[in-house]
Structure 1
């Protein structure tokens, strides 16, 4: 297939049949997405993107401007390749180009800069050109919390109502979105590496001195006295003495990283590094470099050799979170390291050996994934030498008050407050299902403490009391792929006749015949003056459970 540019600046493909502009633009997006997934330095990556754009757009030059805190210009990368030329090129543009795109968060289109009356090109000597020669298209680069940069292309002048220009603008907007995601990923990886190197330097210094700091020992504190959590902690203490690989299993939010740290600190490796990596957070190309490291020149942008996390965790523990999310090809690479304890850096030929304790974690059903061929059976057996199943919060309800008090104490310490939870508030928490487990309980405490109007948190302060808690959607309205299932004895799913009334509340008068759940609810609401909190105390339920039951039975709330 051969490519040529038509008179409007869009590539045409000729194989005997001419492709449409939209099809060519789609192939351009595919090529650009491949470049942005490459494990190379960001500046080099963007220059390659601009070179690809030049094959699909009739452009003169292109520049990408990345912004830092306070909309400060952090980096300028241009199609020229030379940073100085790229910076001079952008600085020759009117300031309104950047301000207009960032302020309006929308593309800027100047069909002919010689006739521009608003942006200010006519006042710039570098842009003094004849009419119908140069036009400009600029699009924002979005981030999570706003605009993090702009992408500007100057090209041949065009008609404002040209459909090809509209397509080019949409193409550039999509490229800007892809660049925004890539820049955010690179910044996250860089921040994580800086934190990791700082943590490694600190731990290495501590290891040289032979001292364990109080901060190290305070990193992990597992709260709970229930039989379920006590059994897990006992198993962790036994397993910690060996070097066997451990696989932590459990629902999301059960605290897998906390237990991994506890295992490390209980082991003879406690003074060595504890390195963690979320396998689901990085694409495969970046994941390989992060775990195994790379040699200088291994790929474009690899200007120096860099250690991977296996080397950084030597003599210590490597925690691989979300291990069930790695691709099939990467599973084979990881298997060799687990079997032989050796690997090569990306682009290297020297075999490196490390002494690393592997602790992996997942909330996926690995057995089902192995059966369906989505996870290698040999890797599964290598990881699941010692499986440790972490209990969900509904399996340890007696720990809820202890955890709630722990999270409130942390909140008080961080914010300089002295909040407390009264017994009624703890009772509300004990009646909740918490499909998000410990993480959801912590978020609930922080949210309630932040919005509390007094120094004592009562039942009226919780979102579930005012029917503002929507976590039940995760298990009552979830699809087939939901991570958790409702408990077998959830009061909302049973007849209220099976729920005994509170000992401190007057019993509901029942006739000799068995009454329906709807009748019991209506009777209790009438006695409580249609106040759900009072009806909950009469029935021995929580206000949220009463609210669910009312909606389930189609009982409208009477207001006076």
Structure 2
């Protein structure tokens, strides 16, 4: 009889060795191993329990003879019960009758209804001289084989399972390496085929590229730090495009531009009747971004209440719509950005510490333009090509103009530089943008002759600049141009936009950007009053 059992054991080892190709799906491979073990040698309720590196607990990775509920209950700490003891001592353990041994916890509850006596045998699964789990089986009392023979056989089988695990880890590591290499190649191909993702070869921007290539293929939450106008939104888009979510939505939300009382419904949606005017249900931006990425800009502006809701999404991947009680699950990668010091906000009690830690998994700082001055020329030419295409013109900078712009201070960073290039394209009458045009664009408002030069408002900013001899910033210059166009157009936005070559939306954006809405409304009302007085007979 013993020869027959030996032959069966050899058969099991042969069949297990034949399924090594399934090791890429470790759970499936282990399930097959345990099925073979049970069907060939009548070993019941076989389990493979492996160490979960994240929780530090032992969990059942595969089983045969257990229901899904019983399997989920099989969680142990090192040293806890029979399984934990085998793992901690790294020694086999045999229990002749599980109903009589206090060490046996029966946490799965699979044996509670058994009337017959059951023995239990478990052996450690060892990889690189370290325990990684436990292989265990039940056996009905039988005299066909000795306990020692079972232990020796299971130890050999545990060695094969350890090799399955190692092969799986090696392949996964190689896949991760190939994924990172693929991201790098896609990045390089995109730069060559469609133009650069990131303009600039300065050391700070090369470091940003390296960090982006590392984090893009992962699921990690990214916190983009840096001054306003440095290009954080662009970096977030690049991370999305280089991830496996690129074919799914990329949703952008500026937390500072939406009133606080509307932001919750914007992010999480609302149900009918949630508030006055909610005549129907509406999905929020987190639902829109499912399977993709959501970019939350100006994250430091969130209220503490919304911070708590965001924390729940980060932790549990679920939320409820405003006015609803149905829990909605979402699979979304969260990318955030801020130009504020979140740690300082935490110290002030204005930002949750637990949320800060959740967001700060992979902080990435986008450098200001003053730290990458060698990129200015490349950025100028890049934006000139872009604007020239949009406006249907073929333009170029003279060497003197490039030198003048390269030496200019850019406190508004890349956004200010891009706006300046667009302004130059609008102002240029010839194809060549020379130093004279740059000087005109940077000329203080007080030196320009306009139909409103006799206005009762003396443009105090320009006078201050003249008296102090200070260079006017490009932001101040652009604001002055908008004001000039509005005055000349009797404060009618559409006419001012036409004068500057801007659409109504573009001129509206700039009026809001410079905080001129109230000024425009007041002046427009004054103009209407004057017109009404002039028409009185």
- Which structure has the larger Rg? 2
Larger helix fraction of residues: 2
Shorter-normalised TM range: 0.3 to 0.5
**TM-score under structure 1 length normalisation:** 0.44
TM-score by length of 2: 0.46
